[in-house]
Structures are given as structure tokens and as C-alpha cells.
Amino acid sequence: MAIWLTKDSKVIVQGMTGSEGSKHTRRMLAAGTQIVGGVNPRKAGTSVDFDGTAVPVFGSVADAMKETGADVTVIFVPPAFTKDAVVEAIDAGIGLAVVITEGVPVHDTAAFWAHAVETGNKTRIIGPNCPGVASPGASNAGIIPADIAGSGRIGLVSKSGTLTYQLMYELRDIGFSTAVGIGGDPIIGTTHIDALAAFQDDPETEAIVMIGEIGGDAEERAAEFIKAHVTKPVVGYIAGFTAPPGKTMGHAGAIISGSSGTADAKKAALEAAGVKVGKTPSETARLMREVMSGR
């Protein structure tokens, strides 16, 4: 079993006819994802061939959903047009919108997130600036490499795309139910807490890897949630132990101020909630192996 993305998910790609959308649509198809259509108003009624698979192009998300039953959209459109693309997906009532695009203005993200809330939270937004969601052996929505790990019993939630890949690779022999890259922007649609709650409720997920980074208080809030609501073992990693205060490191949200948002403060909060925290990705993988060896 997996969270949010399964073998039965029907996926459309907004921006499928662009260079990035086309490249990753081909990779998602190769991973076994049910890609049922693309969206481009200027190319509606055409189709795109991906190594012998013809994928139809629709004029809108609503049209694609009506014709295919799609319940997931992956968004590969330029930052200037991302807000409109997400709002269109929300208005169509699609269940999951995975926003891959990097460089989306924070004001735009705030606007489409607020729109989702105002319309009843029918659409779960993941991202922006994220690698997507992968349920190995079932489906892949985004840019997470499909060949770095198989299906298994670990759930993973991460702000960082590259650290998602590294932990999946290091724990590839155990495997993953689902890996969720939530993105590292200051405002994101799905949080650590959302993923932790879903993994807690998933009977096929036995343990959870949570990857955070310096800046903000998302990891501290996740620690409070873990202490109160998560009974499954959680292993954590916080990127940025050597980051100097006041410097933005990597993601737009990765900035610390004084003692707030530091890796040490986040590590202490997680450990107080019973989370085992590694100081490197490899140590984090070792801690998870210890957890899984006793299960």
C-alpha cells in the first residue's frame, strides 16, 4: 500500500509538451505510471508519442478529468504561469496536484494555497519546488528516479530532493511504501505533519524517515506532532549543521536567525519526541537499519 499515489492513480501532466514536461513524462511512463493525458490549451486535440505510447493533449484540466478520470496532476510550467495552472487544477477538483516548478514567487504560492483552502481543500498540493511523490513499483509523479529503490516498508518525507534520492538509495534493499518530497520553499502545500499523519495511518508503512533542514519551525512542530500522535518509529535528519547564522543555504526557506531554526535546536526537539536523529545521511540510514532489523 502507499499514500496519496498508487498503481491505480491516473495522472495528467500540465506542461507535458514542454521540454521538462516531455522528458519527465517519458520517465514516469517508463516507471509504470498511468499517464492518461497532458494539458496545453494551444495543442488540444493532438497527441504526443512517447516510445510508442500516444498520450492525448487536452485543453484544460477539467476536460482531461472528464475524458480520462484523472485524479493526479503533475505541473511542469514556468514560474510565471504556475499560479494559474494550480488554480485551474483546484477549480477542476482534482485530488492531488504535484507542483514541480522551482522559483515560484512566494506571493503566488500563498494565493493558490489560500484558494485551495477557500474552495474546501479538495485538492492536496505538494510543492512547489519539489521532486514529487514516488510509490516504488506502483507509480511515480514527478522527477524522483524510479530505479533507486524498490517497494518496501519505509515511508519518507523530505524537504530536499537530493537527500530524498540519497536516503532512498542507501535504504534500497529495505524499500519504501512512498517517498514524498514536500519542497523547501517558505510556503508549501503539504507539510511534514501531513505526511507523518498519512504514514501513521498506512498499514503497510512500518517506519518513517523524516528529512528537514535549517530555517523556520516546521521540524519543531513536526516533533510535537510525533510525540502526540505517531506510534511508529521515526528516524530523522536535519540538513545544515555547519550553516552560518543569517545566511540563506540552498532552499529559500533555509535561513536561520540567532538560535531559532538551527539544526541543533531541531535535532533536540526531535530527540525529545523520541526520534533518532543522524548527523549525516549515512548515519541516518544506519539508524533506520537498526530500527528495521528488530521488526
102 is in an annotated binding site: yes
35 is in an annotated binding site: no
Cα angle value 201/254/234 (rounded, 5°): 25
Residue 199 sits at φ, ψ, to 5 deg, of -65, -35
Distances (CA, A) of 92 to 10, 31, 163: 15, 27, 33
User: Phi/psi zone of residue 274: left (φ > 0), alpha (ψ -120 to 50 degrees), beta?
Assistant: left
100 is in an annotated binding site: yes
19 is in an annotated binding site: yes
Residues 4 and 155: their CA atoms lie apart, in Å, by 12
18 is in an annotated binding site: yes
Q: Which of 107, 192, 229, 251 is catalytic?
A: 251
115 is annotated as an active-site residue? no
For strand 176-181 and strand 132-135, is the pairing parallel, antiparallel, or unpaired?
Answer: antiparallel
What grid cell was written down for 243? 550553516
Q: How many CB atoms lie within 10 A of CB 102?
A: 17
170 is in an annotated binding site: no
246 is in an annotated binding site: no
169 is in an annotated binding site: no
165 is in an annotated binding site: yes
Active-site residue numbers? 251
Binding-site annotation, residues for substrate: 165
Binding-site annotation, residues: 17-20, 43, 100-102, 165
Binding-site annotation, residues for CoA: 17-20, 43, 100-102
